[in-house]
Amino acid sequence: MWITIAMSDSSAFHITLAHASILLAQEPNQWTGETTESVKHYMTSVHAVSKRLQDPVDSTSDGVIATILGFACLDVRSSGIGAP
């Protein structure tokens, strides 16, 4: 389901690319943190969602909700919550 939303929504796509960039750069079983590419995609997504939240109709769209969930997932992962 996640990839379906990401492929149909620009802001969700960029947060997915941010996740992918981090995962591709990390060493096995070790969190490597943000990459330049992940920050670029993250910020693109943040700016897009910020604009979309101003629109009463678009602010509750599946894409905006999925993107905000993507932000939460990335933040939880980067904070180390649930790490072994």
Give the domain extent around 6: 1-17+37-53+64-78
26 is a domain residue: no
Using an 8 Å Cβ cutoff, are 66 and 6 in contact? yes
Q: What whole-number percentage of the chain has pLDDT above 70?
A: 86
Q: Which two tokens stand for residue 71?
A: 């932000």
Q: What predicted TM-score, i.e. pTM, was given to this entire model?
A: 0.83
In a domain, 3, yes or no: yes
Q: Is the pLDDT of residue 51 over 70?
A: yes
Q: How far is CA 77 from the centre of its chain?
A: 11
Mean pLDDT of 41-65: 95
Specify if 4 maps to a domain.
yes
Domain count, the chain: 1
Q: For 13-46, write each residue's pLDDT tens digit.
A: 999 999 999 888 877 766 667 889 999 999 999 9
